[in-house]
Structure 1
């Protein structure tokens, strides 16, 4: 029939027609170009110049972030160099200390510090030529022991050179020794007056820079001599730079 013939012809036309081919030239070219760029990038990354550049960038970033090295550039560097050149131009004569010798009469604006402690800081300025002699000149003669001491006020009146707090130092020279005498004490007022009077008479002749510390136990418990001496040591060293301690 007519219908069947057309159907067969259409099927034959469809089956006998060759399929359309898509050209592959552009795909091949793009693949070749992509692989070439990738190879070039890999070659650059593997090169020593690239690694050196990356290392320099990392060092620069670390210097600016961690060490804040941006301040060494520009005028600041010139200022630093100028300071070094100025220091090199200082003459030797100008660098020497002045010939004037400071004395203990310097006034310093220091608050809440005892006067004797402030004056002690001036010891470092004293010249070695003013040291007291090794053998004190007044260390001769018999010193009788005085037992009839009425009160500690009498002791203060007889030794006007003793500073408040039982501290003494010679005025004519700088003592070679700084001695702290620690006395553990409780309920011995009569003995304390006699000891304080006679110890000042002996030590003042020896040109010693010394201090007498009486550490009293206020309670009625067992007398703890060792603890009192420990307290005396801590308190005396807080007030002055003592070298020797007599327990």
Structure 2
């Protein structure tokens, strides 16, 4: 009896071992085919990517491109009399939309003004920027057509400064260059962003980029602040009738713009305070840019003035347009402030 029970037990153990071995074999085969399939997918994608890279670009698409090559080094180019092979057709893979967040961003940037930065160095470090400060991504389709060209709007003469009016000029002059621009970034020339994740593009709501400047202790000075660097789509800009033209001297125009946005049913969007940081190039306040004593009264009257004062009423005289390697300099005459009424 004891031997019989022992035999039955050994038989069951053998069956269990065989079952485990079979199960192990099945699992190994599944893993093997899964890894094999992954390798096939990887190599197919790798070959497709390499194939797309060898498609030729025309010289006109890249200003710094070299002449096309004709096979191995030292090979002779085809003779003019040689007939092309009409049976071959070259089809380039269509470009895909650019990523929402570009690759290669580093985040926080070290911005120092201790050593000078020459325009020659800026040009060397940005070889893909063409004359006038224009750039187009070579490997993807931009989701927006930001007015990039970089346009510097310079006020002609020595009359009282008018920042908002110059920004209006920038909007119209950029559209003269390319009427398909649909996004506009307005920036003071003395502000440098400290984080490359602060993407200069337009959003569903008007964008205020310069959330924290070093002169304000990297904090937003007040909730309605819209100064420094801002971005609006073409439709948003036209909806508020652009910027006011009647703020001569320093201050007030940013608050007027904030009011225009609010009064037209929009809200200001901002990046995170840790990303929207800027350093200001230290300088003395320009002459003819003294504080505007009428700014507080004008801010209170935005609702009444914004329909008649803005891009629809802008007047200026174009003095000069100069295309530089990294930017376009536009000099305009914008007039002078109306005489103030004498107090009686």
Same fold (TM over 0.5): no
Which of 1 and 2 has higher RCO (CA within 8 Å, sep 6+)? 2
TM-score range, shorter chain: 0.3 to 0.5
Q: Which has the higher helix share?
A: 1
